[in-house]
Amino acid sequence: MEWIEKLNKTISYIEAHLAEEISYDELAHIACCSTYHFQRMFGYMAGIPLSEYIRRRRMSLAAAELQGGREKIIDIGMKYGYSSPTAFNRAFQSVHGIAPSMEKGEGAPVKAYPPISFKITVKGVEEMNYRTEEKAAFRIVGISHPLDKEIEKNFAAVPQMWQSAAANGTLERLLPLMTGQPMGVLGVSACNDKEEWRYFIAVSSSSHMEEPLEEYVVPACTWAIFSGADSGISIQELEQRIITEWLPTSGYEFADAPDIEVYLDPDPSNTRYEVWLPVRSKK
């Protein structure tokens, strides 16, 4: 329950700062996790990305103020962080389907998005098999790509990175370098609050590294490890179930370490995978 209470406190923070710049770092601090993990958690729990939720809330308030007819459109746009009428007009139309000028004083229909609240809901009886492992720091070798601080902007970049790695022979080059656990091709989201966020396609390795490959050291951590296969649910669906169903009542919270996807079989027609979630006990 404490975990859900923290999430609801982040909603209160958002509501109190809708007319200001909202700090994702502060939201993460309230939720007691990294900025990256907070955005993932929020997106899975709320069903929409954090940035989209904030935009909808701001445009809901902007519509109500436009209906009042007392303030200029440009002033309302500035109030909610839009430095130009064009940017405000685009954001307003994306939410309400009409231009702000059509709403002002004319009573045109708009959409309302009230503040959300989080609660624990009991869902079905589907089992989730997992194990926990304590693992020392380990080195990975591979390629990386920078990630945007708004994680939904990476949804296209990461799949493209995998496609390129398969097409240009990078995956084939990595497999012989694999020497340690986790045994598989790794997708590593290295997104702590102290370094540039990067996504690695890599293998766990102690082998000599040749250019243009990169290396990264995954810190020592406790991992909650869940397995799946394409014959069941997708890895994204598994991750959503982990965060929305398992984590809130598990007695664990996010630890400051990367998320890892482990692809146990490189054959795309026989994909078996594991999700390694970095955790620490809340006790």
Tell me whether the omega of the peptide bond preceding residue 212 falls within 30 degrees of 0, making it cis: yes
Q: So what's the pLDDT on residue 110? A: 81
Q: So what's the pLDDT on residue 22? A: 95
In our burial notation (b when 16+ CB lie closer than 10 A, e otherwise), range 144-172 reads beebeeebeebeeebeebbeebeeeebbe
Q: So what's the pLDDT on residue 270? A: 64
Q: So what's the pLDDT on residue 107? A: 61
Task: Give pLDDT tens digits for 110-120.
Answer: 888 999 998 87
Task: Give pLDDT tens digits for 119-150.
Answer: 876 665 567 889 999 999 999 999 999 999 98
Q: So what's the pLDDT on residue 266? A: 61
Q: So what's the pLDDT on residue 123? A: 62
Q: So what's the pLDDT on residue 200? A: 97
Residues of the chain with pLDDT under 50: none
Tell me whether the omega of the peptide bond preceding residue 266 falls within 30 degrees of 0, making it cis: no
Single pTM value for the model: 0.85
Q: So what's the pLDDT on residue 171? A: 92
